[in-house]
Amino acid sequence: MFGNPFGGDDAAFVRAVAATLTARNTRQRANFTTTPGPSALTQYRMVVMFNPRPILTGVGLCRSPEAAPLDPPARPIVMQLAFCNGDLPMANLRGRLADAAGADDPAFRDFLAQGLSLLQMPSLRRRFGA
């Protein structure tokens, strides 16, 4: 996970996002974490980035997310997600949320859940142009 749209404690933000994604995931059983254990399928991973610059592609997100330029925290909150198989995206989307007070804000949690749901449903991504 990269970027923190709210500023403040990055570690707490990462924990809150991972917990929300795990709790709100309705498609596949998964434990979202930044520290995968020995049972993790390391070939597959989801990359989440907040406030990436518009030039970022899904390939860039999967290959070298740490090198991607980020904008400072601002509104709207921009989130880009990619489900990666090695260095290549199997799915990629970008969304915007007008505003939220923090990682515990219900609007932000819904934003994460909707992004995850769309990422896992290719037919909906095509329908909504994501």
Domain boundaries along the sequence of the chain: 10-128
| 19 pLDDT tier (thresholds 50, 70, 90) | very high
* pLDDT for the residue numbered 113: 93
Strands (E), 11-124: 44-50, 77-85, 88-97
Three-state SS at 100:
coil
Three-state SS at 32:
coil
The pTM score is 0.85
Verify cis geometry, omega within 30 degrees of 0, for the bond prior to 73.
Answer: no
- Which has the higher per-residue pLDDT, 42 or 128? 42
Residue type, 110: D
Residue type, 53: R
The residue behind tokens 């795990």 is 22
Q: Which residues contact 37 (CB under 8 A, 6 or more apart)?
A: none
- Order of strands across the sheet with 77-85? 44-50, 77-85, 88-97
C-alpha 47/C-alpha 40 separation (Å) is 15
* pLDDT for the residue numbered 122: 59
* pLDDT for the residue numbered 128: 44
* pLDDT for the residue numbered 130: 45
Mean of pLDDT values over 12-38: 85
pLDDT tens digit sequence for 54-98:
888 889 999 998 888 888 888 999 999 999 999 999 999 999 999
Mean of pLDDT values over 14-37: 84
